[in-house]
Amino acid sequence: MSHLKPAAEGLRTRIFQIIFESDTPAAKAFDIALIGLILCSVLVVMLESVVSLQERHGDIFHTLEWGFTILFTAELAVRLYCLDRPWQYLRSFYGVIDLLAILPTWLALIVPGTQSLVVVRLLRTLRIFRVLRLMEFVGEGRLLIDALKRSSHQIFLFLFTVCMLITIFASLVYLIEPAEAGFTSIPTSIYWAAVTLTTVGYGDIAPVTPLGQAISVMMMLIGYSIIAVPTGVFSAEVIRSIRADRYSEEACPGCGHDRHDQKAYYCLRCGTWLDEETPDPRAEHDSSAQD
């Protein structure tokens, strides 16, 4: 950075604080403006996909799209300007998202027809997660992610069992039901079995033979009940997380009571001073009284 003039250097640092951090008023305003801009651009992409609106207001959408593309390109340029290693940012998760959001429109200038790829701009909504992370939702999110991580093995086992059930029931019903009812192949039967077991139930494919219906009923009852498994596992983990936050597991040196509030100084049972590294203020008081 030494090759920059001090003034420019100070500007870069100031811009960096505004667009990459979020603890100054200017940075917060930038975050909110960015979320607003992303939501607007997403809305335009959505409305543009409605044929009747596209026909009537196609010109407005076209102008807005270019407006957003130029704004996002400018934002990305400024981001890269105030970083020391711009290439590393471009290869990061949010860098790729930023790039994907502007590429389709620019690309359409060179290669006609890539216009439809503008849908990938919806991925930009993922950037909102980053803003949330910088804001007040840190603690809650971490607790949830911790609980998910610790229950991930069990939830993997659950999903694997569900997939096995889907496959086995799908093959069974594929053998029983006629192709006319929609069970034309095993992959289609698996789609139907997933629709049934997860209690979604589109009804585009439904069993018509009594035996097929009986097996479906069994699948529904299983799907209806086993949702208790991930729920139970995750509940237990959240409860453990919350409790771990609150209680110390260290036993009182006086009476051995081992469930104290994290903030406790004295044992609630025998009144013993709990912090063994610092002296009990009462003791000091007593000894000075005895002198």
Q: Which of 119, 178, 253, 275 binds a copy of itself (CB under 8 A)?
A: 119
Q: Verify binding: residue 36, a copy of itself, rule CB under 8 A.
A: no
Q: Which is nearer to a copy of itself, 12 or 259 (CB)?
A: 259
Q: Please tell me the distance from the alpha carbon of residue 3 to that of residue 135, in angstroms, as a whole number.
A: 35
Q: Verify binding: residue 114, a copy of itself, rule CB under 8 A.
A: no
Place of tokens 């849908």: 119
Q: Which is nearer to a copy of itself, 6 or 139 (CB)?
A: 139
**Closest distance of CB 221 from a copy of itself, Å:** 6
**Closest distance of CB 119 from a copy of itself, Å:** 5
Q: Which of 13, 24, 185, 287 binds a copy of itself (CB under 8 A)?
A: 185
CA angle 30, 36, 42 (to 5 degrees): 135
Q: Which is nearer to a copy of itself, 83 or 264 (CB)?
A: 264
Q: Which has the closest alpha carbon to 179: 215, 209, 218?
A: 209
Q: Verify binding: residue 288, a copy of itself, rule CB under 8 A.
A: no
**Closest distance of CB 6 from a copy of itself, Å:** 42
Within residues 161-180, the interface with a copy of itself by CB under 8 A covers 162-164, 167-168, 171, 174-175
Q: Which of 36, 58, 232, 279 binds a copy of itself (CB under 8 A)?
A: 232
Q: 273: which DSSP letter?
A: B
71-91 b/e with 16+ CB inside 10 Å = b? ebbebbeebeebbeeeeebbe
267-283 b/e with 16+ CB inside 10 Å = b? beeeeebbeeeeeeeee
Q: Verify binding: residue 115, a copy of itself, rule CB under 8 A.
A: no
Q: Verify binding: residue 209, a copy of itself, rule CB under 8 A.
A: no
* Percent helix / strand / coil, the chain, rounded to 5: 75, 0, 25
